């Protein structure tokens, strides 16, 4: 019996979910300079449960397509540097079970 | 001329649907607006549905609703790295109707429930985001949606838009939530054959088990993990306050792997297949975080109103009860023909007089205390494990000495004064 039918990495976990991504992001980093200058730990890249935020040299890449719409980044960003909205009606994550 | 309703309910979770159902049943013209593809598609819950408050909305719902298992056993695990001290309460009478509580899968349940409101006469519109409340002369008179020509009007708007109630925030009913007021929780639905679940959890087909895991499940941070049995799957999740997640620099998806791989957990989920991964915030600020609950033409219910008892993992029941109380307030206001702030203020009184207000008040200091005093999760749970394990390790020491040694473990490591102080503090916030 295979032991690893359960999803272990975040990539495997995200792959289990259905998303209906909009063409436009519902998440906006207000200032990449704030991320560079004031946020050495880049906390959103750590606590985001879907690894939506990835730091790429000088700017924050926002993979909004995989967002769970939990709101953690809006509340947890220590510099209130994320503009957070709901995706357009019918878009975004679609849970089938839990 | 845009259409006008008696009631607009924003959100089709348990609180919104309870309110919509009750209002529609009373003959009011109700519109319920849901942003997801279907009710439940944006919603997440550990999975325990309390029977009592649901029954108050739909009597004998269990005969028709998609419930998973009747919970007959509730376990609590105080976890250390490779040991645990556990308690369990099992009662087979909880399987007899009306059962104490059930496990459910929210996406299935919420669809069923919202459909019941539709059958009662409520109009449900999916795939629609409410952008803001329309306020005229200091009174909420409707909502602006993201549909073309999307303004809709009503005598009263019920905000059941969940933990991220941008609408209530926009009305100025609360400030932005703080990281210590919310629990970030991730969950996996793990498929396992029915027989395997029955064997591993020592139950029959319709009997369910809940396990709450403390201590090492959150690496000593304030929070819990949980394992709940569905018919042919398990809900396994873990959450801590967002502030703890940040302080400890934990990645939620790594924390859930830590739980899944814990030696006390992994045998239970061996061979399971992941079916879904979900993340959500739980509003756990409690009594002090309750926002303004009513205004001219508007009421707040459920998570949007912070109605969660984190200590007792209760939320959906408070959501349903608050939705029901909101409906009763609205029906009375309709009879009076008055939806002013003054008339709707009876909703707040009703909430505070109900078990919701009483329970939130009882534990008003609990979360803050445990947040500021991390020793309960970090130190005492491992100490209890060490003391209990040492007491039960047979190594030639006499029982009297073992007992002494076990009791001394606490005072030796922390000092008697600290232990007494901590015990008193815990008792005070929980009493």
User: CB neighbours of A58 closer than 8 A, spacing ≥ 6?
Assistant: A32, A36
Residues of A in Cβ contact (< 8 Å) with B182: 71-72, 75
Q: What is the per-residue pLDDT across B2-17, written as a single tens digit (0 to 9) for each? A: 579 999 999 999 999 9
- Whether the pLDDT of residue A1 is over 60: the answer is no
In SS3 terms, B352-415 reads as: HHCHHHHHHHHCCCHHHHHHHCCHHHHHHHHHHHHHHHHHHCCCCCCHHHHHHHHHHHHHHHHC
Give the burial class of B136: count Cβ atoms within 10 A of its Cβ; 0-12 exposed, 13-18 middle, 19 or more buried. Answer: exposed
Q: Which of B370, B246, B250 is nearest to B310 (CA)?
A: B370
Residue B243's CB is within 10 A of a number of other CB atoms, namely 21
Q: Are B189 and B234 in contact (CB under 8 A)?
A: yes
Q: What is the per-residue pLDDT across B382-423, written as a single tens digit (0 to 9) for each? A: 989 988 888 888 989 998 888 888 878 777 778 888 888 888
Are B184 and A72 an interchain contact pair (Cβ–Cβ within 8 Å)? yes
Residue of B nearest to A86 (CA): B129
Its pTM surpasses 0.90? yes
Helix (H) / strand (E) element for B50: namely strand B48-50
DSSP state of B255: H
Helix (H, G, I), strand (E, B) or coil at B309: strand
pLDDT in tens, chain B (431 residues): 457 999 999 999 999 999 999 999 999 999 999 999 999 999 999 999 999 999 999 999 999 999 999 999 999 999 999 999 999 999 999 999 999 999 999 999 999 999 999 999 999 999 999 999 999 999 999 999 999 999 999 999 999 999 999 999 999 999 999 999 999 999 999 999 999 999 999 999 999 999 999 999 999 999 999 999 999 999 999 999 999 999 999 999 999 999 999 999 999 999 999 999 999 999 999 999 999 999 999 999 999 999 999 888 999 999 999 999 999 999 999 999 999 999 999 999 999 999 999 999 999 988 888 888 888 888 889 989 988 888 888 989 998 888 888 878 777 778 888 888 888 888 888 88
**Which tokens belong to B47?**
């999975």
In order of A14, B377, B417, B419, the CA distances from B388 in angstroms are: 40, 16, 22, 17
Residue B219's CB is within 10 A of a number of other CB atoms, namely 18
Q: d(Cα B148, Cα B102) in Å, to the nearest integer?
A: 41
Residue A49 sits at the chain B interface (C-beta within 8 Å)? yes
For B161-200, list the strands marked E by DSSP. Answer: 182-191
Q: Are B344 and B270 in contact (CB under 8 A)?
A: no
Q: What is the per-residue pLDDT across A28-69, written as a single tens digit (0 to 9) for each? A: 999 999 999 999 999 999 999 999 999 998 899 999 999 999
Strands B151-159 and B130-136: unpaired
Residues of A in Cβ contact (< 8 Å) with B240: none
Residues of A in Cβ contact (< 8 Å) with B189: 97-98
Q: d(Cα B313, Cα B307) in Å, to the nearest integer?
A: 11
> Looking at CA atoms only, how far is residue B272 from chain A in angstroms?
6
Q: Which of B276, B272, B283 is nearest to B239 (CA)?
A: B283
- pLDDT score for B1: 45
Are B276 and A96 an interchain contact pair (Cβ–Cβ within 8 Å)? yes
- Whether the pLDDT of residue A2 is over 80: the answer is no
Residue B362 sits at the chain A interface (C-beta within 8 Å)? no
Q: What is the per-residue pLDDT across B282-316, written as a single tens digit (0 to 9) for each? A: 999 999 999 999 999 999 999 999 999 988 899 99
Residues of A in Cβ contact (< 8 Å) with B184: 47, 49, 70, 72, 76
Residues of B in Cβ contact (< 8 Å) with A95: 40-44, 106-107, 276, 278
Are B272 and A5 an interchain contact pair (Cβ–Cβ within 8 Å)? yes
Residues 131-170 on B with a CB inside 8 Å of A are: 145-147, 163-164, 166
Q: d(Cα A64, Cα B400) in Å, to the nearest integer?
A: 62
């Amino acid at each position: 019996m295979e032991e690893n039918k359960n999803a272990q990495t975040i990539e495997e976990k995200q792959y289990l979910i259905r998303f209906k991504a909009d063409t436009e992001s519902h998440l906006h980093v207000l200032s990449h300079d704030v991320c560079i200058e004031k946020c050495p730990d880049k906390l959103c890249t750590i606590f985001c449960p879907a690894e939506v935020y990835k730091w790429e040299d000088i700017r924050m890449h926002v993979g909004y397509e995989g967002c769970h719409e939990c709101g953690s980044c809006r509340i947890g960003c220590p510099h209130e540097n994320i503009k957070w909205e709901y995706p357009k009606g019918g878009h975004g994550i679609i849970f089938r079970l839990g | 001329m845009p259409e006008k309703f008696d009631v607009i309910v924003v959100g089709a979770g348990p609180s919104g649907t309870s309110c919509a159902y009750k209002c529609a049943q009373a003959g009011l013209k109700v519109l319920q607006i849901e942003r997801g593809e279907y009710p439940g598609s944006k919603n997440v819950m550990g999975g325990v549905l309390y029977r009592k408050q649901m029954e108050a909305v739909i009597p004998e719902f269990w005969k028709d609703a998609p419930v998973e298992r009747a919970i007959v056993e509730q376990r609590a695990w105080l976890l250390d790295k490779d040991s645990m001290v556990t308690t369990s309460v099992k009662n087979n009478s909880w399987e007899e109707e009306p059962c104490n509580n059930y496990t459910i899968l929210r996406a299935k349940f919420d669809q069923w429930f919202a459909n019941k409101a539709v059958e009662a006469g409520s109009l449900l519109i999916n795939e629609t985001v409410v952008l803001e409340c329309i306020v005229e002369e200091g009174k909420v008179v409707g909502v602006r949606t993201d549909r073309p020509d999307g303004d809709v009007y009503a005598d009263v708007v019920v905000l059941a838009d969940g933990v991220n109630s941008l609408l209530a925030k926009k009305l100025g009913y609360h400030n932005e939530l703080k990281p210590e007021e919310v629990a970030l929780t991730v969950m996996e639905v793990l498929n396992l054959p029915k027989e395997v679940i029955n064997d591993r959890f020592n139950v029959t087909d319709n009997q369910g088990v809940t396990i709450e895991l403390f201590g090492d499940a959150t690496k000593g941070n304030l929070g819990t993990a949980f394992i709940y049995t569905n018919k042919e799957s398990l809900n396994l999740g873990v959450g801590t306050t967002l502030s703890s997640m940040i302080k400890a620099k934990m990645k939620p998806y790594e924390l859930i792997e830590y739980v899944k791989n814990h030696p006390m957990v992994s045998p239970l989920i061996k061979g399971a297949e992941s079916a879904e991964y979900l993340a959500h915030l739980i509003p756990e600020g409690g009594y002090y975080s309750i926002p303004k609950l009513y205004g001219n033409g508007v009421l707040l219910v459920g998570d949007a109103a912070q109605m969660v008892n984190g200590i007792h993992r209760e939320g959906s029941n408070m959501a349903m009860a608050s939705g029901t109380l909101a409906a009763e307030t609205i029906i009375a206001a309709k009879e009076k023909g008055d939806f002013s702030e003054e008339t709707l203020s009876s909703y707040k009184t009703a909430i505070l007089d109900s078990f919701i207000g009483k329970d939130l008040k009882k534990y008003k200091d609990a979360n803050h205390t445990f947040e500021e005093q991390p020793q309960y999760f970090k130190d005492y749970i491992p100490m209890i494990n060490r003391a209990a394990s040492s007491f039960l390790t047979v190594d030639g020491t006499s029982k009297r000495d073992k007992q002494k040694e076990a009791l001394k473990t606490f005072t030796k490591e922390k000092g008697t004064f600290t232990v007494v102080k901590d015990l008193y503090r815990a008792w005070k916030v929980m009493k």
